[in-house]
Amino acid sequence: MTSRGTLIIPVFTCVHHTSLSTSPLLHTSCNRPLNALTFHRIRSLRLRTRGHPVDSSLHSGWHVDQAILVEEDRVVCIRFGHDHDPECMAIDETLYGVSEKVQNFAVIYLVDITEVPDFNKMYELYDNSSLMFFYRNKHIMIDLGTGDNNKINWAITDKQELIDIIETVYRGASKGRGLVVSPRDYSTRQKGK
């Protein structure tokens, strides 16, 4: 809190500055004074920034929680990992590639687990990259045939595959399912491929 009673809240850093230039919440990379920040206000700001669905990198546990809590209509896809890791960069590239195609039913965030270690134990984030899905504040698990239904822990480089997975998660989650079955079986997937 400042002396004037204004709450200083670290805000999201925009990945695509040009596409979100009108959004005061997502465009600035510094602390910005905001008065009473409520769920309603966050939601209204998020609705105005629907132009580009890879909204940002989240830089604190609070931001991750808010991203999951605020979105009511779309699947929240969060890639946890190390931003500098080649495997993470590969899945990030795929996420950017599919972002416009899934923007009506999914929103994508990136979280560096070194910067935001709050969820490492809870979600067992020990891999180089982990893609997790949430819908209406609920973790949506996906059966990929690998035994780990909590997350995708390898880099998916095929854009259509990722679109199919996100769409499957959305369709299942919107019907109230907490576990969905992947459209493809990855049980024979070789590590490193």
Asked whether residue 33 is domain-assigned, the answer is no
Beta-strand ranges (E) seen in the chain are 7-9, 13-14, 32-34, 54-58, 75-81, 106-112, 129-135, 138-143, 179-181
Token readout for 29 is 């990379």
**3-state SS class at 111:** strand
Range of the domain at 66: 52-181
| Number of Cβ atoms within 10 Å of the Cβ of 187 | 8
pLDDT of residue 55: 53
pLDDT of residue 130: 95
Asked whether residue 80 is domain-assigned, the answer is yes
pLDDT, tens digit, for every residue of 30-52?
A: 333 333 333 333 443 344 344 44
pLDDT of residue 32: 36
Asked whether residue 122 is domain-assigned, the answer is yes
More confident site: 56 or 159: 159
pLDDT of residue 190: 53
Q: Tell me how far apart the alpha carbons of residues 180 and 138 are, in angstroms, rounded to a whole number.
A: 13
Q: Does 124 score more than 80 pLDDT?
A: yes
Asked whether residue 106 is domain-assigned, the answer is yes
pLDDT of residue 90: 94
Give the chain's domain count.
Answer: 1
Mean residue pLDDT of the chain comes to: 77
Helix H segments across 76-192? 86-98, 159-174
Asked whether residue 100 is domain-assigned, the answer is yes
Q: Domain of 137: which CATH number?
A: 3.40.30.10
pLDDT of residue 57: 84
Asked whether residue 20 is domain-assigned, the answer is no
CA-CA distances (angstroms) from residue 70 to 48, 62, 83, 166, 176? 13, 12, 24, 19, 18
